[in-house]
Amino acid sequence: MDSTSLLLSSIPMACDNASPFETSEMLASFVTSTPLLDSAWRICSHANAVAPRGYVVEVAGGVGYLAFSGVQVVGGSDSELCDPKWGSMVPLDVASNGLFSALKSPVEEEEEEEEEEQPVMVHAGFLQLFLDFYGNCNFQDQMTLLERSNCKSIVITGHSIGAAAAALTSLWLLCRSSSSSSSSIPLLCITFGSPLLGNSALSKAILRERWVGSFCHVVSKHDIIPRLLFAPPSAHILSLLHLCHFGTNSIPEEALFSYVLSCAEKAAEEVEGLSESDGLCFTPLGTYVFCSEEGGICLDNGASVVKMMHLLFSRSCPRQSTEDHFKYGEYIGKLLLQFLKRRELQGEEGGLGLNGSTYDAGVSLALQSSGIDRQEMVLGSARDCLEMARQNGSTRNLNSAHLAVRLSKITPNRAQIEWYKALCDGSEEQLGYYDTFRQMRTAKREHAVNMSRVVLATFWNGMVGMWERNELPFDFHRRSKWINASQFYKLLVEPLDIADYYRMEKHREKGHYIENGRERRYRVFDRWWRERSKGKKSSSKRNNFAGLTQDSCFWARVEEVKESVEMAKKETEPMKLGAVLERISKFEKYAGELIESKEVSRDVLAANSSYSKWLQEWTALKPRFQQLINNSKS
């Protein structure tokens, strides 16, 4: 395997494992030891020189490169570029007509009482820039040729505003490949001095899709452009962005530099929880390589990236903040040489010493690579930043591992309910486990089953709470182990929750189960299962009835339709009766289709089950109701 292919496979691995070395100086060292950064910057410089407002395509060493020039114009005029609306954010899926539908937040539409998740949003001007390229036939042809070439991998790159176009192009390709059944070419996006692209929902979506390792943003320690959009959009801010991407070395006013610095400081305080957040508009995404003349460090934790952006920028000045935007060629050229030099770590107390710890050695090496001297006041904050990056990543993975251990410990409780169901299914009473539990036929046995039901609910509620508090890996709900385990739990245990709800007659006080009694965990598991099954259609038919009824709310629907039959018996108003009968007929058809496709367990068809008794009663009553309807029409 060549170094490029090794890099493309290693970056996501490092991000997932959250190693203290692989996500800081050591990963940065590995990245710069390959020709990728040097090649990417070389073709970026070439694009800046020969393809202003465009891009260049090149194939070298089995790698296909697409580089966007940093010289770009959105809207066609300077006045439009400086319009604050150009710097606002727009919903990505809506504004792009579904090109990025894979990134759409999985919102539970039927849960009207819940606050909707924040939509994925991106910079309006950058999105329009990408759409302008996308709508060009030549661009489409070039992308097709690149994908059909014999390239082992594709690198999308860009500088400044061109970097934003590169990131959106990469997102589009990743979204497209995720919805395709065919294998795709490994993709890596490398940007230089890229401005921020979108909101926190975009960052979370990329984490959820496990695409963090597909984005490598190279940022110099003084460059103002990557920090610029921490400040609210304004004509002044956008004018600076305009000047910088045209290669103008105009020095921003000191007041503007101070303003951006203060906004970066506020953003850092918000991610640390030191100040009340009014919503951080633009958020980092992917992996960041912070480069300096001393080397580089690599971070993939969003909060740590924001904090490091501020810490390094706080040591800058107005002149450096723009000059650094055009010095990436110098930094890339020095990186490999700097990493080959021997490090002389100081062992003095309070310095960058090892202090007898391998972990401290890694942190010290990363701090030295960032260009922060041990005498500087920000040293302690920078060290905290690196440690926070390590702890956040490892804590989520540890939480996931601990959950797996706890899941194994409650297996006996789940097994007890499985045993109970099998016992009821084979009983001569022919009730099934739903009706047996609802009637509490054997108090001691049902009490033990009920205790297991409570133990399982406690575990799964705790797991959902951790997931919603972002205490688990962001792709946790995409992992087959947890999708399948939660689905099996839901199908097995929710019928008992429904039985308990109606046995305790809670429906008389609160209303029916589905709308008023269903626990949130089941709605979350429904969402996970739908996301997993999206775009997958099973053509195979069952030969036998399912072990568990595939609609976990089936018995709640039976309880509702039983009440509807009682209402129909008493109803004398033809229009109201017609509405009730329509609901009953709708359920009758639905249940019939489930049974025909064998999507129900055999307990549904037990001779004395609630469903069988209801069907028997309804079959006898239906002709009479049909006659009443016919008489009302005549």
Residue 6 φ/ψ, nearest 5 degrees = -60, -40
Nearest to 243 by CA among 164, 313, 133, 322: 322
For residue 409, with 0-12 CB atoms within 10 Å meaning exposed, 13-18 middle and 19 or more buried, which class applies?
exposed
Beta bridge pairs of residue 283 = 198
Instruction: Find where tokens 């980092």 sit.
Output: 284
Residue 367 in this model has a pLDDT that exceeds 70: no
Question: Does residue 353 or residue 150 have the better pLDDT?
Answer: 150
**521 or 532: which leads in pLDDT:** 521
Give me the phi and psi of 52, to 5 degrees please.
-60, 140
pLDDT digits (tens, 9 = 90+) for 403-440: 999 999 999 999 999 999 999 999 999 999 999 999 98
Q: How far apart are CA 352 and CA 348, in angstroms?
A: 7
Q: Which helix (H) or strand (E) holds 508?
A: helix 506-510
> pLDDT category, 604, cuts 50, 70, 90?
very high
Q: Where residue 52 falls among pLDDT bands split at 50, 70, 90?
A: confident
- Looking at residue 343, the DSSP 8-state letter turns out to be P
Helix (H) or strand (E) holding 178: helix 161-178
Rounded CA separation 567/591 (Å): 20
Fill in the DSSP letter of residue 288. Answer: E
Average pLDDT for residues 211-236, to the nearest whole number? 85
Residue 241 corresponds to which tokens in the numbers above?
């962005």
pLDDT, tens digit (0-9, with 9 covering 90-100), for 242-287: 555 454 545 456 878 888 899 999 988 887 765 555 555 899 998 8
CB 163 within 8 A of CB 70: yes
Tokens of 260: 């951006």
Nearest alpha carbon to residue 291 among 25, 610, 56, 630: 25
On whether the CB atoms of residues 7 and 188 are closer than 8 A, the answer is yes
258 vs 264: CA distance, rounded Å: 10
Query: Would you say 317 and 26 are in contact if contact means Cβ atoms under 8 Å apart?
Result: no
pLDDT band at 443 (very low <50, low <70, confident <90, very high): confident
**Residue 205: both structure tokens together:** 């979506």
The string of pLDDT tens digits covering residues 455-483 is 999 999 999 999 887 788 878 888 999 99
Query: Would you state the pLDDT for residue 444?
Result: 84
* Catalytic annotation, residues: 160, 223, 325
Pairing of strands 55-60, 63-68: antiparallel
pLDDT class of 4 with cuts at 50, 70, 90: low
pLDDT-wise least confident of 98-112, 127-141, 590-604: 98-112
Q: Residue 255: exposed, middle, or buried by beta-carbon count in 10 A (0-12, 13-18, 19+)?
A: exposed
Q: What integer pLDDT is reported at residue 251 of this predicted model?
A: 47
205-239 as b/e, with b when 16 or more CB fall inside 10 Å?
Answer: bbbbbebbbbbbbbbbbbbbbbbbbbbebeeebbb
Contact 199, 232 (CB under 8 A): no
Residue with tokens 């792709």: 475
Q: Mean pLDDT in the chain?
A: 80
- Asked if the model's pLDDT at residue 331 lies above 80, the reply is yes
Closest by Cα among 32, 34, 38, 70 to 52:
70
Between β-strands 153-159 and 187-192, what pairing exists: parallel, antiparallel or unpaired?
parallel
CA distances from 119 to 92, 105, 129, 363, 367 (A): 8, 6, 21, 36, 36
433 vs 335, residue with greater confidence: 433
- Note the pLDDT of residue 609: 95
Which residues does residue 289 pair with via DSSP β-bridges, in sequence order? 218, 298
- Measured at the CA of 462, the angle between CA 458 and CA 467, to 5 degrees, comes to 150
pLDDT at residue 329 above 60?
Answer: yes
Where does residue 537 rank: exposed (0-12), middle (13-18), buried (19+ CB within 10 A)? Answer: exposed
**Domains of the chain with bracketed CATH:** 3-105+117-368+378-396 (3.40.50.1820), 410-534+542-633 (no CATH)
How high is the pLDDT of residue 413? 97
Query: What pLDDT does 354 receive?
Result: 44
- The H or E element that residue 289 is part of is strand 287-292
Residue 110 identity: E
Give CA separation, 553 vs 228, 550, 557, 618, in Å.
Answer: 51, 9, 6, 20
Say what the pLDDT of residue 127 is.
Answer: 93
